[in-house]
Amino acid sequence: MRQGNPVRLYPQPRRLQWLEGETRWSSRISVNASEEAGQAVERVRLVPRLGQAIAGCGEGRAVDEQPATAISVYHREELHPQGYVLEWNENGLRIEYSRDAGLYYALVTVEQLLSREGVHWNYFRIEDAPDFPVRGIMLDIGRHKIPKLTELYKLVDRMAELKLNHLQLYMEGFCFEYGQYKDAFPGSTPITAAELRQLDVYAAQRFVDLVPNQNCLGHMGEWLNKPEFRELAEHPNGLPLPNQVTFPPTTLNPVDPRSMDLIKDMFDTLLPNFSSPYVNVNMDEPYGLGAGQSKERCDEIGVGQLYMEYADQVFELVRSHGKKPLMWGDVLASHPEVIDRIPEDVTVLDWNYECNLSFEAHCKMLGSKGISFYVCPGTSSWSAISGRTDNMLNNVSDAAIHGLKYGASGLIVADWGDNGHWQVPAVSYPGYVYAAGVSWQTQQHLHQSEWLENYISEEVYRDESGEIGSFLLELGRYYHLERSTLDNATYTMRLLMDGIKSPEQFKADMTLIMKIFGELGGPGGEFHMDYCYAEMKEWLLQRKEQHAKLKLRDPEAETVVDELTNTLRLIEQGIGLHRYLHRIDLPDHQAEIECLTELRAGMELAVREFVRLWRIRNREGGLESSTRAMNRLLDQYKERIEELTAADAAE
């Protein structure tokens, strides 16, 4: 640490003042605190954690011969509940705090400074507090990928290091063990009540609020497609759409009392496992609401009132468990006539994951109505294999700017699992880390990619090459070379999901999908693309060269490197499949066979590695559905090779 240089700390503090002088840490510490402060010191485990940080310090060595470094801890009621003051001077380290969370974040700051700056510090004073009281992550465990408990512990640890304090595990399908319904979901490997209770305690010790999350209106497809639940659907036989398309049943019938009976069973089983005062009831994207079984009631009162009639029942159920509801805001945005019905104890989660659509209008409306709300951008990792970096950076930035301006009390970054949840954890970390920065101090962290890259390299993965932060951001930039109009996904991902078909058929199918989601409330439009094949090959070569430089010293280094190798392998499949479908430099059947044979071998390896790496971190349930498109593509390769070989033999 040198005066005048930027301090290597992420998130950056609200205020840093350099003082005259410098000294080193001793290998020993002594703590001076009042009885009240001393109890807080014990609760956050300040002494053993600092001792461990000094012993494992990244640069230099603490001095054994000098007197113990004095740490004075003072309680100051007037500070922000999560704020703190640190002053390093000739008397040692002075810490001021108001609540335990503030003392904990002071400790986290000191630990990171020791790790990144070593034990020789210039004198300084830090005054710090967050811009957003609630800062967190929502991880999708409801679609395909359910992490093992050990992985969730690691995530909580990473969150605590970033001063994130809110974690939701998004649930749809059968990802939590509702014992009374287990027989309906054979082969599932859900998280259990006992595991959630353990995770709840673990998170609370690190000042992370583990908030229960269960969808209870839309996104109920895995339940409603079971014969025993289908009659609870708004559209038991599916939702009719234009072009003779039928969308599968995903929305509960809000006027059928049995729908609420099911949700009551769920919440009565799920909610007692959490100490959080909140629960996210979701209720987003209720496709076809009011157009099916509930149409008669909807014709009487309208879609917005129908939605709120059901929501009021859910709110009462949540309150009976002593909790306050969180809910997504998309239906309210579409039906502003009911927004005044939102109760005071409900927090609206305003979500948007595309950077070309700003949070400003919704934030302004919610703020003007005095409604409690969080802004919820996304990691842009899903349906993209390696993410969409610049979409993420701009989306999260916009959420922070307008959330702060109009009074949002939280920023939650969503990490979804659409289309198989193919992204590996490292792909999501740029989004987690950037959201942590801008939610702690918005203006200081906007567009500070270098800080983001350095933190990922130095603290998340301990990369001696210093390369992985930049590598992960660049890994999520291939989509710029696709020049596709697809929304919320990349062309490469859709190509691997759809498999072998003519470019004309692919375009027609993508346009139809975009129109369908336009009917359901999405942006719609038509599919267009101007793919840069040569540039994609060059991009891939550059990423492979960058990947080869990585020297991770993280305990999971081998797994992380292998996951990123396979991520590149999947993108390479997409490039090769595009080449085949557009017959680039493939003049005859023999050239096509050689191309397909190479693609098939590469995909076989990618699938084997995907399965192996999945099982290291995640439960078995969901693996088969996640790899279904991969295996279908393998079958298509085999069939096409056989067809071409037979055609050549016939000639």
Asked whether residue 294 falls in the same domain as residue 345, the answer is yes
The rounded distance, in Å, linking the Cα atoms of 309 and 286 is 14
pTM (2 d.p.): 0.97
96/144 same-domain check: no
Q: Which of 571, 435, 552, 566 is nearest to 493 (CA)?
A: 571
My answer on whether 176 and 316 are in the same domain is yes
Residue 347 and residue 315 in one domain: yes
Residue from 285, 458, 563, 572 carrying the catalytic annotation: 285
Residue 265: per-residue pLDDT: 97
Is 251 inside any structural domain? yes
Q: Is residue 434 part of a domain?
A: no
| Cβ partners under 8 Å of residue 158, min gap 6 | 429, 432, 460
- Tell whether 388 is covered by a domain: yes
Question: Residue 227 has which token pair?
Answer: 């014969």
**Inside any domain, residue 464:** no
Do residue 366 and residue 491 come from a single domain?
no
Cβ count within 10 A of residue 282: 25
Same domain, 312 and 199: yes
Q: Which domain holds residue 594?
A: 478-650
Interhelix angle 46-55/100-117, nearest 10 degrees = 10
Residues 221 and 321 reside in one and the same domain = yes
For residue 62, the model assigns a pLDDT of: 60
**Last residue of a domain, which of 77, 94, 128?**
128
Alpha-carbon distances, residue 414 vs 70, 73, 352, 417, 538 (angstroms): 42, 36, 10, 10, 31
The answer to whether 569 touches 607, Cβ cutoff 8 Å, is no
Q: Is 563 a catalytic residue?
A: no
Quick check: is 432 in a domain?
no
**In a shared domain, residues 381 and 507:** no
Contacts of 346 (CB under 8 A, 6+ apart): 315, 324, 325, 326, 327, 371, 372
Domain boundary at 73, 97, 128, which?
A: 128
Q: Is residue 613 part of a domain?
A: yes
Angle (CA) 540-511-580 rounded to 5° is 40
Provide the pLDDT for residue 4.
64
Rounded Cα gap, residues 462 and 456, in angstroms: 8
Say yes or no: 150 and 83 in one domain: no
Q: Is residue 447 part of a domain?
A: no
* Residue at 632 is within a domain: yes
Structural domains counted in the chain: 3
Q: How far is CA 106 from CA 86, 98, 332, 578, in A?
A: 7, 11, 39, 51
Close Cβ partners of 561 (under 8 Å, ≥ 6 residues apart) = 547, 550, 552
Quickly list DSSP for 529-556: B---HHHHHHHHHHHHHHHHT--B-STT
Domain co-membership, 353 together with 239: yes
CATH of the domain at 66: 3.30.379.10
pLDDT tens digits, one per residue of 114-161: 999 999 999 999 999 999 999 999 999 999 999 999 999 999 999 999
Q: What is the pLDDT of residue 602?
A: 98
Q: 42 and 155 share a domain?
A: no
pLDDT, position 65: 73
Closest CA to 444 of 400, 474, 491, 412: 400
Ranges of residues in the chain with a pLDDT under 50 are 58
Domain final residue, candidates 416, 450, 469: 416
Residue 1 pLDDT: 64
Asked if 83 and 216 sit in the same domain, the reply is no
CA dihedral 327, 331, 335, 336 (to 10 degrees): 40
Per residue in 519-547, is it b (16+ CB within 10 Å) or e — as a string? eeebeeeebeeebeeeebeebbeebeebb
